[in-house]
Amino acid sequence: MSKPGPKGITIDQIVAAIDQTGSQDGAAALLGLNTRTISSRLKYYREGRSRENMYSDEYYANKNKDAPPRQRDDELFKGRSVLWNPETGETKLEWYKTDRDKQEQYEQLKVAVDALKDDIPTAKPEPAPKSSNDDLCACYVLSDAHIGMLAFEEEAGGDNWDTDIAEQTLTRWINAAVEAVPDAHTGLLIQLGDWLHFDGMVPETPASKHSLDTDTRFQLLVRVAIRTLRRVISLMLQKHQHVHVIMADANHDPASGAWLREMFAVLYAEDPRITVDTSADTYYAFQWGDVSIFAHHGHKAKIGSLSSIFAGKFRELFGATNYSYAHVGHLHHQQLKEDTMMITEQHSTLAAPDAYAAKHGYLSKRSASTIIYHKNFGEVGRTTIKPEMLK
């Protein structure tokens, strides 16, 4: 929509009035303006001053009304309109429309992300442990935490789940998990996505617009999600010489996953002992000696097709290692598939089922595991912790 002119009249309304009445005089009478105002607005518009971001510098230099519009990479166009003389076929006026609401949301998101990256104070490096086993990598797998989800035990037939319970459960789990694993050199955090239950001010899934049961406001959800993730990473840094973080793209929180990756990369930018995978892809990989470890949330590919996808996307890494493992979440229950290329494991979640899951019969046991990989022999151990063990 174009900018409002005299008395709130937009250029689009002026053009429509000219088209309806057949003349500038008729349009002026219809809109309650004088003809000079109509003429001035049209001249002002033709010169491009009301669309200053849509024309090249050469356009202004030459005052060429036929100069093609220049679309900015970050501008969201939704249409083009042309007003022509039906008798001569001459173009009288041409304008391009943008989706103002979506454009403003896009700009606000860009500003927010840039602000987060610029203003986050970097964390002070954690003191490294005195010793560790250089052959071992401890892989912490957290799938579908759904912080912010509301589950009522009487309705869902399981346990209660809300923001406070999620934070307490995840905090107790990481304390128990860090204590249980050996002193491995590297800690690999695979956060398989859906860390947040919803992704904005409206509690619904971004793609399908499925209404979600929630117990909190989005800003508080963001605060708890960040605080809990920082606690997980901080405890891992106290246990391991190096920590690598993967936060997978997922269907409940794709935008939040993006700013979490970028924000934590900035947060720990001055600590050489931690690395954060900021890939915009939805498939991730990590190498530990002769071991390749892959991750994907599970919303884009089924477990049976993942081995070929990972082998194809990370061809060099896959070919350089003898042991390959893939981790996936999304469906909240355990499944293991081994083929000639790798072992793919679908993980359960610590979160209780909500009403939607319960009513559709999506019931499974709850747990989260740490898996120990030896750089020469692949998986050599694991610890599985269930929520009832944390009470």
Summarize pLDDT for 201-216 with one digit per residue, the tens. 899 999 989 999 999 9
Provide the 10 A C-beta neighbour count for residue 219: 8
pLDDT at 172 over 60: yes
Distance of CA 231 to the CA centre of its chain: 21
- Predicted confidence band at 199 (pLDDT cuts at 50, 70, 90)? very high
223-229: long-range contacts (C-beta < 8 A, 24 or more apart)?
224/147, 224/148, 224/163, 224/166, 224/167, 225/147, 225/148, 225/195, 225/196, 225/256, 225/260, 226/260, 226/263, 227/167, 228/147, 228/166, 228/167, 228/170, 228/171, 229/191, 229/195, 229/260, 229/264
Query: Burial code of 302-326, b = ≥16 C-beta within 10 A, e = fewer?
Result: ebeebbeebbeebeebbeebebbbb
User: Which one is predicted more confidently, 152 or 103?
Assistant: 152
> Residue 9 — very low, low, confident or very high, per pLDDT cuts 50/70/90?
confident
pLDDT digit string, tens, across residues 126-138: 788 988 999 999 9
The residue that leads in pLDDT, 202 or 247, is 247
Ordered alpha helix ranges (H), the chain? 11-21, 24-31, 35-46, 57-62, 100-119, 153-156, 163-180, 218-239, 254-267, 306-313, 315-320, 355-359
**Largest Cα span, the chain:** 87
The mean pLDDT of 208-233, rounded to a whole number, is 93
**Of 232, 142, 245, 134, which is closest to residue 183 (Cα–Cα)?**
134
Can you tell me the mean pLDDT for 369-379? 98
In this prediction, residue 29 carries a pLDDT of 79
Instruction: Name the residue with higher pLDDT: 75 or 151.
Output: 151
Neighbouring residues of 73: CB distance < 8 A, sequence distance ≥ 6: none
Q: Which residue has the tokens 């709850």?
A: 366
Structure tokens at 45: 């518009």
Closest by CA position to 284, among listed 237, 260, 251, 317:
317
The region of weakest confidence among 13-17, 48-52, 221-225, 308-312 is 48-52
User: What letters, b where the CB count within 10 A reaches 16 and e where it falls short, cover 47-69?
Assistant: bbebbeebbeeebeeeeeeeeeb
pLDDT of 98 strictly over 90: no
Evaluated on CA atoms 5, 6, 9, 12, the torsion sign reads negative
Residue type, 380: V
As a whole number, the mean pLDDT across the chain is: 84
286, pLDDT greater than 50: yes
Report CA-CA distances (Å) from 306 to 328, 347, 352, 375.
9, 14, 26, 23
d(CA 323, CA 378): 6
Q: pLDDT tens for residues 298-348? A: 999 999 999 999 999 999 999 999 999 999 999 999 999 999 999 999 999
Neighbour-count burial for 253-266, b at 16+ CB within 10 Å, e otherwise: bbebbbbbbbbbbb
Structural domains of the chain sorted by starting position, each given as residue range(s) with its CATH number in brackets:
6-98 (no CATH), 123-390 (3.60.21.10)
